[in-house]
Amino acid sequence: MHDDIERILLSKEEIKTKVKELADRITEDYEDSDSLVVVCILKGASVFFADLIRKINRQVQLDFMSISSYGDSRSSSGVVQIRKDLDINIYGKDVLIVEDIMDSGQTLAYLCEMLAARDPSSLKICALLDKPERRIADIQPDYCGFQIPDEFVVGYGLDFAEKYRNLEYIGVLKPELYSD
């Protein structure tokens, strides 16, 4: 365990098992779709996304978006910036957004509204982690890996100040590292 981690919340093995479960559900739910576009929200979801798409047993198109409402802060500003938009035209296609963590939900609510205006056939969200007690926006993931308590987590793609993304597990960061 890394010295900056207070405790491991989710082990590498727990994550691997959950990713396979989610991929199996997605494979089944989209068995009749011939136009599934899986969208990775960069950078945090990249590790989860890579593992998930390799377990989905059907043809998919991949695309990436980079959005931010956090800047250098620990909490969302509520102002969403699109840093990289989709390359694929999603009109008439099934779209699955892959996100690392749902917190307030404001950023994803905005993103879903924006993508829905592009008239996809369907639009769903797959989040590895969900913090429902912090939810402000009226939005829920369609596929959820784990509901977690309101703690600052890093690893498996999640970061603090661009650090810890490469940890194989999800851990709770020691509060003295991010507290003011």
- Sign of the alpha-carbon torsion through 99, 105, 111, 113: positive
Q: How many CB atoms lie within 10 A of CB 145?
A: 24
Check residue 180 and give its pLDDT: 64
- Residues labelled catalytic: 103
Q: What angle do CA 133, 139, 145 make, to 5 degrees?
A: 70
Per-residue confidence band for 68, with pLDDT thresholds at 50, 70 and 90: confident
The domain made up of 13-148 has a fold known as Rossmann fold (3.40.50)
Confidence bin at 79 (pLDDT 50/70/90) = confident
- How much is the pTM? 0.93
Q: What's the pLDDT score for residue 71? A: 52
- Whether pLDDT at 178 is above 90: no
What is the average pLDDT value for the chain, to the nearest integer? 93
CA–CA separation, 106 vs 136, rounded Å?
7
Report the pLDDT averaged over residues 93-117: 95
Q: Is the pLDDT of residue 52 over 80?
A: yes
